[in-house]
Chains A and B, each alone.
Chain A
Amino acid sequence: MTVQDLRDVLHAHAESPAPANPARHEQIQQRIRVVRRRRRLGAGTAVMAIAALGFPLLSGTAQPPSEITVATQPSGAPGTTELPEKFTSPDGTEYRRLALTHIEKSGSHTAKVTIPVTGKPLDVAGICTSGSRMGGSPHVKIDGGIAVGGGFGPCGKEMSLLPLTLPPGAHDRITITFDTKTSGTACVRADGKGPCEPVKPERAAWTLAVYEWTPPERPVEPEAPRDLPRRLDGYTLADSATGTWPRDRSATFRVLGDGHPLGIDHICTGDLADRLWIGYRVGGKDSPSSGACGVWKKGSFPMAMTKFTVPKGKRVTITVTLRMSGEATNRPVRWSVGLFRR
């Protein structure tokens, strides 16, 4: 094996599909609140120092967007056909486009659309029309403030849909901002010496849209998930549970620890499968680990195993909880959760 093999192996695993986390923003906010509370209890002076900063927690970008595009866009632009005016998803949900816009590889990083609030569920859609996989993806804000959780991920040639949850108090119209601006800085020293040269952020072109959708009149049951693998990365499938959200919102495993690690992994089917969020409670305590349900359509199993250690001889109950991100009326998700033992 060569160093290049090592590089290839690391890249192959790192670039595999990562589970989306639409709740990351909220989860970090929660962690910050917990730390602040802890510090407040520990040292009153620390509280004063943090408060004196005077910044709103996780406030938005300081710079106003430089370009406003209001709910219209010329037809025939790249990506327009992939984000059609209307389409019906496999479960029968009818999508209708309310707004369409673009962000090019050069020029403005932002685009804005203003849409009417109709009361129907909303999704934002994005497709990368040109650029490398590492090209920045847009993040989404509503009325300049609250950010939509998750993101479109790396520059991909297939349409991605994200749920758009309106902030309280949104009435007639809302303005949605798409922004590909990056604010992080990175630098490298090419020869190990000399100055650290800034890395130029890569850009990609995106076509973006906002859709409202009308759910099917009745729940449409997705196909059953594929069988979980019997062996996975040195673990063996020991138990499993299946169900259909929203009817089944949890699964319970009672295990006797043998001193070896346990793992839990999951796959889901349904048009909203990747919006089903999996959390864990082990021995009565919430686990900090959570993740979006895996979708296994082709290729190898989308492994995202969460591992636990149960001391030898100890009995614990592992509860797996399932929560949907965004609206999902009549759009059930079938799930399969496996308990693996090493």
Chain B
Amino acid sequence: MADRALYQDFVVTRSDRLLRTAYLLTRDWALAEDLLQESLTKAWFAWARVDEPEAYVRRVLVTTYTSWWRRKWRAELPAADLPDTPSHDTTGRLGERDTLWEAVGRLPARQRAVVVLRFYEDLPVTEVARLLGCQTGTVKSQTAKALAKLRVDELIAEELHR
């Protein structure tokens, strides 16, 4: 059980890291701040029952983000599928990594969350499944779909199943 008196310390010390995760989900620093604050507010009311504050807030962050996306009242509307022919930046200045970043932004919310948790937070499949409240098989299939959409080389098969 988390000590409620330590909530403020948690906010101060962990916000920066959580904000960065929120940014990868929302791709907008202001929205990320909004998402972080919403999640921390929810956490405050559950604080006395929370055993692992960071894992708890991260879970709230992801579920709040996906619920925003479902409601579609946020500005961002990622496409479910990438076009068959990738669009090119007219200036021709975008490198492969810029293109990859743009493609991550087009992933549906759930797949983007899986990508962020697996490849930024480096969480194992079981932990991602626990955070998202789904089966490990679902995480694996969502990862595979996301990587296919991102056209990421899947030669490293174990990445999917670790």
Verify that A and B bind, or say they do not. yes
| A residues apposed to B, CB below 8 Å | 1-3, 5-15, 18-19, 21, 24-25, 27-28, 31-32, 35, 50, 53, 55, 58-62, 134, 136-137, 139, 147, 151, 153-154, 179, 181-193, 196, 231, 234, 261, 288-291, 304-309
Residue B69, interface by CB 8 Å? no
A291 contacts which of B21, B29, B38 (Cβ < 8 Å)? B29
Known: A24-B37, A307-B76. 9 other contacts (CB 8 A): A3-B153, A14-B120, A27-B37, A58-B11, A60-B9, A184-B13, A185-B54, A186-B54, A304-B28
**Chain A neighbourhood of B123, CB < 8 A:** 188
**Chain A neighbourhood of B6, CB < 8 A:** 61-62, 183
**Chain A neighbourhood of B15, CB < 8 A:** 24, 151
**Chain A neighbourhood of B152, CB < 8 A:** 1-3, 5-6
A212 to B8, CA, bound (A): 27
Count residues on chain B whose CB falls below 8 Å from chain A CBs: 65
**Chain B neighbourhood of A31, CB < 8 A:** 37-38, 41
Q: Once the chains bind, are A10 and B53 in contact (CB under 8 Å)?
A: no
**Chain B neighbourhood of A289, CB < 8 A:** 28, 30-31, 33-34
12 sample A-B contacts, Cβ–Cβ < 8 Å, listed by A number? A3-B153, A6-B100, A9-B97, A14-B21, A24-B11, A27-B37, A35-B45, A59-B8, A183-B53, A193-B126, A234-B102, A290-B30
**Chain B neighbourhood of A147, CB < 8 A:** 8, 12
**Chain B neighbourhood of A181, CB < 8 A:** 9, 13
Q: Once the chains bind, are A3 and B29 in contact (CB under 8 Å)?
A: no
B24 contacts which of A14, A19, A61 (Cβ < 8 Å)? A14
A60 to B100, CA, bound (A): 43
**Chain B neighbourhood of A60, CB < 8 A:** 5, 8-9
**Chain A neighbourhood of B96, CB < 8 A:** 1, 5
**Chain B neighbourhood of A305, CB < 8 A:** 28, 30
Of chain B, the residue at the smallest CB distance from A291 is: B30
Of chain B, the residue at the smallest CB distance from A261 is: B75
Q: A184-B14, A290-B33 are in contact. Are A28 and B40 (CB under 8 A)?
A: yes
**Chain B neighbourhood of A139, CB < 8 A:** 9, 12-13
| B residues apposed to A, CB below 8 Å | 3-17, 19-21, 23-24, 28-31, 33-34, 37-38, 40-41, 44-45, 48, 52-55, 75-76, 91, 96-97, 100-102, 104, 115-116, 119-120, 122-127, 147, 150-153, 155-156, 159, 162
Q: Once the chains bind, are B100 and A307 in contact (CB under 8 Å)?
A: no
Closest-CB distance, A66 to chain B (whole angstroms): 15
Q: A28-B11, A291-B29, A309-B75 are in contact. Are A11 and B52 (CB under 8 A)?
A: no
Q: A10-B120, A12-B97, A192-B125 are in contact. Are A184 and B54 (CB under 8 A)?
A: yes
Closest-CB distance, B119 to chain A (whole angstroms): 5
**Chain A neighbourhood of B41, CB < 8 A:** 28, 31-32, 35
Q: Once the chains bind, are A6 and B38 in contact (CB under 8 Å)?
A: no
Closest-CB distance, A131 to chain B (whole angstroms): 14
Q: Once the chains bind, are B3 and A53 in contact (CB under 8 Å)?
A: no
Closest-CB distance, A96 to chain B (whole angstroms): 27
A32 contacts which of B30, B44, B48, B151 (Cβ < 8 Å)? B44
Of chain B, the residue at the smallest CB distance from A189 is: B124
Q: Once the chains bind, are A55 and B8 in contact (CB under 8 Å)?
A: no
Closest-CB distance, B132 to chain A (whole angstroms): 15
Q: A185-B53, A193-B126, A290-B33 are in contact. Are A2 and B11 (CB under 8 A)?
A: no
A32 to B11, CA, bound (A): 13
Q: Once the chains bind, are B119 and A3 in contact (CB under 8 Å)?
A: yes
Q: Once the chains bind, are B33 and A55 in contact (CB under 8 Å)?
A: no
A150 to B54, CA, bound (A): 19
Q: Once the chains bind, are B20 and A187 in contact (CB under 8 Å)?
A: no
Looking at B5, B30, B120, B151, the one whose CB has the most chain A CB atoms below 10 A away is B30
**Chain B neighbourhood of A50, CB < 8 A:** 45
A62 to B7, CA, bound (A): 10
